[in-house]
Amino acid sequence: MGASHDSNRFPVPAKGVIAIGQFAIGIFTLSQFGIGVVSISQFAIALYALAQFAIAYSVTAQVGLYLHAGQGQFVMALTDLLRQLSVVF
């Protein structure tokens, strides 16, 4: 197991094919803050995400943006968001 902080007290992310930790980067991540292909996180950036807040190709989230498919309480296609913002500005 790796250290959770380096010598300067900066958090060290979990990295690998399967990454589990507060901060995780990998193919499959299980974390609070995750970046990966498949991510189960509180905050996620992924290809496929299950999260509270997420940006993904395909997402299931409480709040999220997606490119292909999404489900959740407040989930919107990224293209729809950009379209709405272009009308405002």
* Token pair in block for residue 84: 């709405």
Looking at residue 89, what is its pLDDT?
73
Q: Say whether pLDDT at 4 is over 90.
A: no
**Cα Rg of the chain, angstroms:** 15
Looking at residue 1, what is its pLDDT?
54
Q: Mean of the per-residue pLDDT values for the chain?
A: 94
Task: Give the closest residue to 63 by CA, choosing from 76, 74, 50, 49.
Answer: 74
Q: Is the pTM of this model over 0.85?
A: yes
User: Would you kindly state where each structural domain of the chain is located, as residue ranges?
Assistant: 14-88
Looking at residue 2, what is its pLDDT?
58
**What are the tens digits of pLDDT across the range 16-51?**
999 999 999 999 999 999 999 999 999 999 999 999
